[in-house]
Amino acid sequence: MGHSHITIHNKAFRPYLSASRLDEAVAGLAARLSADYVGRQPLFVVVLTGAFMFASDLLKRITEPCEIVFIRVASYEGTGSSGVVQEILGLREDVQGRHIILVEDIVDTGTTIHHLLPSLLSKSPASVEVATLFFKPASLRHPLELRYVALEIPNDFVVGYGLDYDGLGRNLPDVYVAV
């Protein structure tokens, strides 16, 4: 891992988690998921764009037969009381009776998951769980049960390994934190 600071959009970041540490955390999570979903043929629903690198490394290690689909979440101002409505783009699969694992790069406020879950549950899956690379418990604004968390981190701004700062930094193999 490069032990030097980097700059993205004039913001300084320092090394935070090495590619090998991330690899270890992802391997541990994949082992848990593989054990928990034996014989259930889960459908991994990967939330783009941030989760692409995590999803790739995670799914290479899932030992059970499974399917993978990619979705995008569009948020727009709605007329409902929540103000922001999340729409799922790209989920064309019939998820009725399926075991769904929603793959996220990071859960901080929990707003995205909070809005996605009712939409997914309305399609009558057998189960829905969330697998996230990072969880920031200090930022959570919605009650969420997260069974599959690779790493819990403080409320810091991180970039790399799929996570971006205004579009840049996703390609970094390590994770950096804002200084």
- 115-171 tens-digit pLDDT: 888 889 999 999 999 999 999 999 898 888 899 999 999 999 999 999 999 999 999
Within 8 A by CB and 6+ apart from 3, the residues are 15
Catalytic site positions = 108
Domains defined for the chain, CATH in brackets? 28-75+83-155 (3.40.50.2020)
pLDDT at position 81 is 46
> Which DSSP symbol is given to 37?
T
Q: Please, are residues 49 and 169 in contact by the beta-carbon 8 Å criterion?
A: no
Given a cut of 70, whether residue 84 has pLDDT beyond it is no
